[in-house]
Structure 1
């Protein structure tokens, strides 16, 4: 009899515990976590409760997770020498704080970053990975210069995110491969011996970095082939790039580094050239060269070719390779410019979006006198650092929208800007902003759940829906 009463008591306790557990589960499922940032505060958090609705309501934002678009493959920035030099003014502890803010899951969670092959305009001075004239066999190829600035910068990021992927692009080939024998301006020599040597140069770059534990996953043959400024640069016509990829780089990579992608990038634009007709159409339109290329990378005025590329070559991926860098203001106006660039590219099926400089010193100055924006500024005099508004605008996307997430349908009323994504774990992420000068109240609906949210003026929001 005592045993029977004890058993009955235990069953009651189990039933109560199960009921409480189920109630707790329902409570958790019925919540949405909101993160918001503006001039006055950054990364404010709040929790709202969803309410169930049995019928369709006139919501301002309706997310349909069944209607999917592109896969998001990665977010990142670019490793440059001047960034690492700025970090050296800080203690090791502060350096780690910055890298954690950029690469950890509790920060921007960058997972796919760019680096220059040789000097960029944010190198400390100009160089290539083989400055030995006429070394067609690449016997003097070396990444020793990179060991001082780029390699430790990348390795510090890998310590935070061991899964980090990196891709590279040259601003210029070695000067001896160019018609003007200079790092700046000029054209590649379309000499078969030069082109074969240059393809080997790319191969050795991939192999050398991989041997050092850096996962180089892709190359873009030229940074901005339509731009010939005073800093390291090189001009390529679409036909010349096609020849190089089709006859030299593509076959060599297929044989020696078949698991490293080739992208057609980074495509920029100018007033005189239709970049779609110059690069995209002749290269992607030729199956014998297109078979080597994963997608197209665009930056700056190259964005004018994005929509036509999507339409005519939907099987090729889109990458935004360098967000517009501004003029060193590092203010909220620029943060919203970056935010809007990200929205524009993502709405046009970009699978990747990359920032430019992640870290610079207080001058923000390039090697040729252009003061540019950065996510984080190091004060080299006071040995401190500042998180800039751009950082918060970017983090609203990158912390929550994970690699392999799908962009999903997000029907939005006029005057409200929003994007929605579905992560591999099933969570929904809604990114939205209010860029008007007054508050807006919106109703958000996902399936048969809805929530009301007040959007403050000049504020960016992330809603994490579990």
Structure 2
């Protein structure tokens, strides 16, 4: 019996030794790889990575050196909009909770941690409103966020129940209408969707529609301050305000065109000092920039003391043409992609391909964060002002069917793996369809690679001199997490 036990012990020791030797060899290789893949036919599938020793030449080679670190990543998110909350009300409480979990859960969801909201109505509000439509109320005695308590406040609070670390930043599409020369929320007349008199319909840029008089500037700075404090009273901290959504665009929905220098006046002489005087710690950002001209940013930032107060710059749409020059001009300024281009409601694979290219462009040019637009909409995708747009998730108002669109998975391919505090890595080689990040905290490299070919394609990633060879499916997004 004793000999038998000794034999068992010997076998166990030999087995342990073999396992240890195998583990040491794997450790020598130094790479542990997990892999998620999505194509038009197969969404969010687990792939098993097996080390390849064949001599087959890769069709694309991407070189990654984790010492070549660029900007730090703040996070990912979408926008809390009224029509999104109304869409969520169409499904059962259990389904609603699942959708919210899929967006915000920090284990199995998209892990969204940085989201946008409007100050007053935007184009995905139920209808026009501001937080004070009492004309001449410069003291803001009638300021109220009661409207938001019906939709936006509960939307945000449900997200923060799932992830208490969700930060919320806010921007107005339009000031209170009485602060504009036209006394109307729109800047472009469209009898089908608004009642703006034609005489006020002007698409000229660089001409402020805001009444640029001191008492209006003072009242508007107070409006921002009251907004931040009112949300704080609801238990929601506003991390930042971006002073105007698309300040060059005259729209048939809530909008306000500004001369950039007048935005500089607002920030330098009124908003910045107001936040300072009232100890409001919400950041002030120049956003959202939707034109490619550098001077439409510098004319704001360089006015007076504006640079002292501007913590970052946000870009969307044609603003993608300005981010490179802004990053060069202000290399220490934090930058954000504030609203991914929303398409026309197609919600198809081509839309996801287009968005991947936007992601690549923004992160290659210094963006610290990336925002989707509507996280949830009904199947029409339409705003009250007639524009049909994409959403991550669609809910059919007739059948109540819930559809997770391709862009949901694309966003998750990044946001679920690239943790806040990770850094963007400067890569070389055939890297036009890859974005690479490094998480210093857990020593992991995250690669988002897109095979845009119609056939499977051999990719090789040389990470700190070690090779990861993969065969990527045709037309597929792939996240490879490599533990060094």
TM, length-normalised to structure 1: 0.91
- The CA deviation string for residues 203-223 of structure 1, in whole angstroms up to 9 with x for no partner, is 111111122121210001111
Q: Secondary structure at the match of 2:49?
A: strand
- Change over 3 Å in CA distance of 1:292–1:12 after alignment to 2: farther
Paired with 1:25 and 1:141, the residues of 2 have a C-alpha distance of: 66
Contact 2:60 2:458 (8 Å CA) reproduced: no
Q: Secondary structure at the match of 1:341?
A: helix
Bigger mean CA deviation after superposition, 27-36 or 365-374: 27-36
Instruction: Give the alignment of 1:414-453 within 5 angstroms.
Output: 417-423=433-439, 424-453=441-470
Paired with 2:236 and 2:359, the residues of 1 have a C-alpha distance of: 27
Matched, 1:256 2:284: no
Contact 2:264 2:302 (8 Å CA) reproduced: no
Report the alpha carbon displacement of residue 316 of structure 1 after superposing the two structures with TM: 1.1
Matched, 1:247 2:265: no
Matched, 1:70 2:87: no
Quote the residue 1:137 is aligned against.
Answer: 139
Q: Secondary structure at the match of 2:342?
A: coil
Contact 1:30 1:49 (8 Å CA) reproduced: no
Matched, 1:275 2:293: yes
- Change over 3 Å in CA distance of 1:450–1:229 after alignment to 2: same
Report the alpha carbon displacement of residue 15 of structure 1 after superposing the two structures with TM: 9.7
Matched, 1:156 2:158: yes
Contact 1:62 1:446 (8 Å CA) reproduced: yes
Report the alpha carbon displacement of residue 287 of structure 1 after superposing the two structures with TM: 6.7
Gaps of 5+ in 2: 188-199, 201-208
Report the alpha carbon displacement of residue 310 of structure 1 after superposing the two structures with TM: 1.1
- The CA deviation string for residues 405-442 of structure 1, in whole angstroms up to 9 with x for no partner, is 1011222327x511110113221101110112222212
Contact 2:287 2:315 (8 Å CA) reproduced: yes
Instruction: Give the alignment of 1:290-329 within 5 angstroms.
Output: 290-329=307-346
- Change over 3 Å in CA distance of 1:58–1:462 after alignment to 2: closer
Report the alpha carbon displacement of residue 283 of structure 1 after superposing the two structures with TM: 2.8
Quote the residue 2:192 is aligned against.
Answer: none
What is the RMSD of the two structures over their aligned residues, measured on CA atoms? 2.5
Quote the residue 2:171 is aligned against.
Answer: 169
Paired with 2:41 and 2:281, the residues of 1 have a C-alpha distance of: 46
Report the alpha carbon displacement of residue 147 of structure 1 after superposing the two structures with TM: 0.6
Paired with 1:456 and 1:49, the residues of 2 have a C-alpha distance of: 15
Contact 1:100 1:107 (8 Å CA) reproduced: yes
Instruction: Give the alignment of 1:21-32 within 5 angstroms.
Output: 23-24=22-23, 27=26, 30-32=31-33
Contact 2:268 2:303 (8 Å CA) reproduced: no
- Change over 3 Å in CA distance of 1:362–1:257 after alignment to 2: farther
- Change over 3 Å in CA distance of 1:96–1:454 after alignment to 2: same
- Change over 3 Å in CA distance of 1:417–1:59 after alignment to 2: closer
Correspondence for 1:146 among 118, 130, 148: 148
Q: Which runs of 4+ in 1 moved over 6 A?
A: 9-16
How many equivalent residue pairs? 452
- Change over 3 Å in CA distance of 1:22–1:90 after alignment to 2: farther
Q: Secondary structure at the match of 1:291?
A: helix
- The CA deviation string for residues 19-58 of structure 1, in whole angstroms up to 9 with x for no partner, is 74674476485431111101111111123145799xxx99
Quote the residue 2:180 is aligned against.
Answer: 178
Correspondence for 2:382 among 359, 362, 365: 365
Paired with 2:288 and 2:380, the residues of 1 have a C-alpha distance of: 26
Bigger mean CA deviation after superposition, 38-47 or 444-453: 444-453
Correspondence for 2:359 among 335, 338, 342: 342
- The CA deviation string for residues 119-178 of structure 1, in whole angstroms up to 9 with x for no partner, is 000000100011122221212111110011111111111111110000000000001111
Contact 2:323 2:366 (8 Å CA) reproduced: no
Q: Secondary structure at the match of 2:184?
A: coil
Quote the residue 1:48 is aligned against.
Answer: 49
- Change over 3 Å in CA distance of 1:450–1:183 after alignment to 2: same
Contact 1:50 1:449 (8 Å CA) reproduced: no
